[in-house]
Amino acid sequence: MTVHGVESEPLGTFPKSGIDVLVVGTGLAGLTAAIECIRKGHNVRVLERASSINTLGDMYFMGLPATRFFKHWPEMKEEYDAIGLHNAWIETYKHSGEQMVKPLYVAERLKAAGLDPKTPPGTFQLRPLIYKMFVKQVERLGVKIEFNSRVVDYFEDEASGKGGCVTQDGKRYEADVVIAADGVGSKSQRLVGGQVRARSSGRAMWRAAFPIENLEKDPEVKAHYTMIGPDNSEPIVRTYLGPGTYAMTLTRPETMIWIINHNATGSSAESWSNTIEPQEVLDTMDEGVGPSPWSPMMKRLIACTPEKTIVNFELLWRDPQPSWTSPGSRVIQIGDAAHSFLPASGNGATQAIEDAVSIASCLELAGSKDKVPEAVRSHIRFRFIRNACAQKVGFSNAELLQDTDWNKVKFDPRRAQPKHPKWVWEHDPEVYTYENYAKNVEAMNKGVRFDESDVPPNFPPGYKYEPWTIDWVMDCMKEGKPIDLGPGNWD
């Protein structure tokens, strides 16, 4: 039997489904949903609240599952291979500046941490370059993004089998299914009933990306944060770990990036436009990091950062949302609208793209407008436990990175390496959906829980889902106890 998704199935492979899809939001989840829904034969419209697509930002981790659909889009794969950090190096320091793990190719570092160097779980990517790549693909497909369309409400009409939304100017949009990919705070929460309260973690991230030419201000900083390898031509990630903090820098030919996790300050806010000046960072960065101050070279790097470049992004924690869809399953949340991730998880972008690939495939398998609710509910069963487990891993990684014991790292390098479990990076959301859709629908119609069905798990084998809360996570951290991930194989 042919399993869709294994081999390249370019645009035109699938017949027209007749399903009208309205995508709200142009983050990675929304753009991927538009791209894959078109390939699957659905009709697509896209709304975006901003006046243009935001291609600013620094870096994030792109896991392998988020890139597997590129095999259907040769132009995307070619561009991804060209811009990616596939020959990157990595080295690790104490936050105070002492080198602890010498520079190694990422593959060599993975081998030292007990992972397969031939199949790295993903790569660090520059957000602006990745976004531009996705935007170009949407434009190639002729999708007209309706900008300045801020959605203020969502609705559905089960009798007519339609979902919809209303924009700030009173305009109404309808479709067979509405994909709410408009991030944390989506107005779809009211209809979906999945709103969860944000809790302050007490932490925030200083994040900055700027042209490499700014390092000319300090030749010693330029020399220290140089690239590496043959002719100093290969990018390098430098990680810094210490008590109550961690940081990363990325040096590329054209861009310098640095990120520091720190105690939240009065100027921290959950907004990518919340910028502060370098002096504020320099004045407060030594607070809460133990007896040793930050590396002088890191401080000099911060001093080289241009004004209005540093984002002070507050890290808010949220319980897993209990619901991602409207009562009639005509409005479905994906990406951050359904499940937000901590930066330390290395999983937010990956899971958002997985969501988009999954819902596009479920809709194609359902095959008709009247079966959209079946597709949506099946998709949520595929995705809910997997995301809840990935979120847990994110908290475990944050715990690891924010409280590094260097005496233990000396004997076990894996302690300086965030978890990238096999059950996360070996997954192919498209192939998985096509192999298991029928089984999943059958179990769903019988009222069998997903983790008790005969569908192979896409979460840690042996795990049975139990609801958990941020209060429980915070209590574990306050008591100094490791976060208990639960039964099953989490490696």
Catalytic residue set? 207
Backbone phi, then psi, for 193, in 5-degree steps? 75, 25
- 20 strand-pairing partners: 43
Write the Ramachandran bin of 462: left for phi over 0, alpha for psi from -120 to 50, otherwise beta. Answer: left
CA-to-CA dists, residue 324 to 83, 165, 205, 425, angstroms:
34, 16, 28, 24
- Are 163 and 155 contacting, i.e. CB atoms less than 8 angstroms apart? yes
Residues 6+ apart with CB under 8 A from 26: 46, 48, 50, 53, 135, 145, 181
Residue 355: enclosing H or E segment and its boundaries?
Answer: helix 348-366
Angle between helix axes 127-140 and 74-83 (nearest 10 degrees) is 160
Dist. CA 50–CA 53, nearest whole Å: 7
Are the CB atoms for 429 and 395 separated by under 8 Å?
no
Question: Shortest CA distance to 407 belongs to which of 418, 416, 395?
Answer: 416
Q: Which residues lie closer than 8 Å to 488 by C-beta, 6 or more apart?
A: 459, 460, 461, 462, 463, 464
Distance (Å, whole) CA 29 – CA 141: 17
Specify the 3-state DSSP secondary structure of 474: helix
How far apart CA 35 and CA 73 sit, in angstroms, is 10
3-state secondary structure of 388: helix
- 60, 125 contact by CB (below 8 A): yes
Residue with tokens 């029928």: 438
Quick one: DSSP state of residue 185?
A: T
Query: In this structure, which long-range contacts are made by residues 6-14, counting pairs with CB atoms below 8 Å and at least 24 apart in sequence?
Result: 6/431, 7/71, 8/71, 8/72, 8/74, 9/39, 9/72, 10/39, 10/72, 10/73, 10/74, 11/38, 11/39, 11/72, 11/141, 13/39, 14/39, 14/40, 14/41, 14/364
Q: Which residue has the tokens 């992972």?
A: 115
The single-letter code of the amino acid at 225 is: Y
Q: Is the Cβ–Cβ distance between 443 and 455 less than 8 Å?
A: yes
